[in-house]
Amino acid sequence: MQAQPAKPAPDHPNIVILLADDWGFSDVGSFGAEFATPNIDALAYAGVRFSNFHVAGSCSPSRAMLQTGVMNHRNGLGNMPETIPDEHRGKPGYDTVLNHRVVTIGELLKAAGYRTYLTGKWHLGSDATRLPHARGYDRAFSLADAGADNFEQRPIEGMYDKANWTENGKPATLPKNYYSSRFVVQRMIDYIDEGRASGKPFLASINFLANHIPVQAPDSDIARYSAMYQDGWTALREARAKRAAALGIVPAGVPMVTMSTTPDWRTLDAEERAAAVRVMRAYAGMATAMDREVGRLVAHLKAAGDYDNTIFVFLSDNGAEPTNPFSSLRNRLFLGMQYDLATANIGRRGSFSAIGPGWASAAASPLSGYKFTASEGGLRVPLIIAWPGHADIRAGGISDGLAHVTDILPTLTELAGVSGHGGRWRGGAVEPVTGRSLVPMLKGGAGSVHGDAPLGYELSGNAALFRGDYKLVRNLAPTGDGAWRLFNLKADPGETRDLAAAESDRFRTMMADYRAYAKANGVLDMPAGYTADEQINRYAFEHQGKPRLIRFGLWVGAFVLLLSGLIWALRRGRRAKSG
């Protein structure tokens, strides 16, 4: 039987994971954003910014890899419940929930004597054996769904029948003054304080809903940006690229593509522009509201004397969300019945809004693509790691070496002095950790801990293979044509120049690497005609649309029967009187 890790000494570091939802590569001030994120930026300048860090193109696979250090097809998230085609359900690696063959960072650190807490979005399974309380977290107030309303206990209408919040595995009720970012931080502060007397270090995993659909923010935060965004997404994309270069996040003058799905700002009419400007102001306000809560947490830890001995990790789960929920007449009619869609109400309580592909392209600047795609705008996101009281981590450093979300777990266990599981856990075999510790890069080491080793990825048919400075990538419709392309990310992070023909030997070698990865991880080909967008719509109809139609049909049927009965009774009464 495996020996359990030794209990950590009292001076072992606390760990805070700050996971943003759907933040693009330049959606942080210290990465190029124009909106205010001073508290996250303070962590950036106290630690290291990773400018070449990659996750999955959608939330659950990234979250599963963050929790376990294991690639998504090995941890059960080969696809998500909302996007998996029926043909893949139940196949190995396509559980759509975190499987029981992996060990979470919560389980590892709890076994090593840490207090372990989680608040916010989970989205890795909702049954009793898969909620965070069953996966290593002493206390957890979590949302099992992909997203929910930010002002009330309300689901994303049309996707879920309720907002599935639980505390410690039991259904929970949100407070009346609820706002998502404020709540998940306050609940975490409460957990930390309640366990302080134990003297044990803590793991605090805070999983924000910001900035997932629906985009919503306090009025004062939206008003802060009332003079911005009138010039549109193309101008913003260019401005962010310049700021990112000035900050040293990307090379100066990096070439950029114009994404084919991005509308031309100049063709929008006045009403369309007003709505677009308003939603980006709400998006900026939502980010700033989240940053303020990060600052409140940091201030609390400073006051308690915890700050200097706390490791902070900030990242996003994928690139910015390009989905336009109003792209179909069916959706517009349905959402119009559920929400106040007036332009003046965008971003407020009772609203439903999303930034769409135009602003998402700016959030990814200067990269190509966004959430769902395997392009850099979908996979490359900001990562900040800081340990303010630890001299070995170079404050204000920027690392441009390749890093991956599976690297976070081994990095944190090394920094915490906690043993990994080595593929064995509680007497049984488990999936080995595939990530590599980023500690050498935190200490200023040049290059990447992955060296020239191939690193594969696939989700919903969109796929990539990283090797050194190069990336092999394929995107299916609607954002791609299914063709494989080769890019040198060091020279061309915007993926503007396909090198497949010019470097044909490298292209063939990396294709062989991808095939080996796909075989080893049980990657399945997508059914003909599959798109993630269409699958999400199908999921929504099957889980919400069809039941609502059935209920509506039953209601109409009952009404017709009742009306028919009344008419029959009236006619019978008239006949009786006339007789």
- pLDDT single digits (tens) 201-223: 999 999 999 999 999 999 999 99
Beta bridge partners of 471: 466, 487
Report the distance separating Cα 568 and Cα 562, nearest Å: 10
Within 10 angstroms of residue 252's Cβ, the number of other Cβ atoms is 10
- Residue 329, classified by CB atoms within 10 Å of its CB into exposed (0-12), middle (13-18) or buried (19+), is exposed
- Among 484, 401, 509, which residue's Cα sits nearest to residue 447? 401
**Residue ranges of domains in the chain, CATH in brackets:** 14-442 (3.40.720.10)
Q: Which amino acid is at 11?
A: D
Query: Do the beta carbons of residue 346 and residue 275 sit within 8 Å?
Result: yes
Report the distance separating Cα 335 and Cα 325, nearest Å: 9
Beta bridge partners of 15: 203, 311
Q: What DSSP line would sit under 152-191, residue for residue?
A: SS-B-TTT-SS--EEETTEE----TT--HHHHHHHHHHHH
Helix, strand, or coil here: 329? helix
Alpha-helical runs (H) found in 472-545: 504-520, 532-540
348-400, pLDDT tens digit by residue?
A: 999 999 999 999 999 999 999 999 999 999 999 999 999 998 988 989 999 99
Indicate which residues carry an active-site annotation. 59, 123
What is the reported pLDDT for 543? 66
Rg for the chain (alpha carbons), in Å?
Answer: 25
- Among 192, 345, 324, 331, which residue's Cα sits nearest to residue 282? 345
Report the distance separating Cα 192 and Cα 114, nearest Å: 11
Report the distance separating Cα 503 and Cα 65, nearest Å: 32
Query: Do the beta carbons of residue 333 and residue 35 sit within 8 Å?
Result: no
Report the distance separating Cα 353 and Cα 282, nearest Å: 9
Cis amide leading into 388 (omega within 30): no
- Among 52, 76, 154, which residue's Cα sits nearest to residue 403? 52
Beta bridge partners of 49: 384, 398
Two structure tokens written together for 68: 């376990």
Report the distance separating Cα 566 and Cα 413, nearest Å: 72
- Among 68, 76, 71, which residue's Cα sits nearest to residue 107? 68
Report the distance separating Cα 434 and Cα 74, nearest Å: 10
Task: Report if pTM > 0.85.
Answer: yes
Query: Do the beta carbons of residue 374 and residue 482 sit within 8 Å?
Result: no
What is the reported pLDDT for 2? 44
Helix, strand, or coil here: 207? strand
For strands 165-167 and 139-143, give the pairing: antiparallel
Q: Which amino acid is at 66?
A: L
What's the full length of the chain, in residues?
Answer: 579
Beta bridge partners of 458: 463
Alpha-helical runs (H) found in 443-503: none
Low-confidence ranges of the chain (pLDDT < 70): 1-10, 543-560, 565, 569, 573, 576-579
Alpha-helical runs (H) found in 207-350: 219-223, 233-246, 270-303, 329-338
- Residue 498, classified by CB atoms within 10 Å of its CB into exposed (0-12), middle (13-18) or buried (19+), is middle
